[in-house]
């Protein structure tokens, strides 16, 4: 058995083409990543071919599915996004937020979430 600590898997800055604001990504496996968002930071609109599950580790955040109102979440919550569903997620305006993202397959990255969409 090979046991890795989080120190063995350094976090790296997330690409600006896929996120707004400072975000750090720490891959744990090919299907699990720890992602940490600074206040107000968020993903672009995107979708996953097999869906996605977010396990919220710390802080507070928002998730929005296309055509629906944004929903708040906090540490201890589990967010499930269905396969192919356009969505974004990120930190609340006044909170750092960290989650484990579980998904399989290639993410389809779409357009940036506007400030107006984030604030609605």
Walking along the chain (120 residues) 10 residues at a time, the average pLDDT comes out as 58 94 94 96 97 97 96 98 97 98 94 93
What confidence score (pLDDT) does residue 120 get?
Answer: 82
CB 108 within 8 A of CB 82: no
Retrieve residue 110's tokens.
Answer: 């779409």
What confidence score (pLDDT) does residue 6 get?
Answer: 55
CATH no. for 17-119: 2.60.120.10
- Read off the pTM: 0.89
What confidence score (pLDDT) does residue 8 get?
Answer: 62
What confidence score (pLDDT) does residue 97 get?
Answer: 98
CB 12 within 8 A of CB 24: yes
What confidence score (pLDDT) does residue 27 get?
Answer: 92
Q: What is the DSSP letter of 115?
A: H
* The CA-based dihedral angle spanning residues 65, 96, 79, 104, taken in that order and rounded to the nearest 10 degrees: 90
The domain segmentation of the chain, as residue ranges, is 17-119
Burial of 15 per CB tally in 10 Å (0-12, 13-18, 19+): exposed
């Amino acid at each position: 058995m090979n046991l890795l600590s989080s120190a063995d898997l350094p976090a790296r800055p997330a690409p600006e083409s896929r996120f707004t604001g400072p975000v750090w990504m720490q891959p744990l496996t090919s299907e699990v990543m720890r992602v940490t968002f600074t206040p107000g930071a968020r993903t672009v609109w995107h979708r996953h071919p097999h869906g996605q599950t977010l396990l919220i580790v710390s802080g507070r955040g928002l998730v929005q599915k296309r055509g629906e109102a944004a929903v708040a979440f906090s540490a201890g919550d589990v967010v499930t996004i269905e396969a192919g569903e356009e969505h974004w997620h990120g930190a609340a305006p006044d909170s750092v937020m960290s989650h484990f993202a579980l998904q399989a397959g290639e993410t389809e990255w779409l357009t940036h979430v506007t400030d107006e969409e984030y604030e609605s």
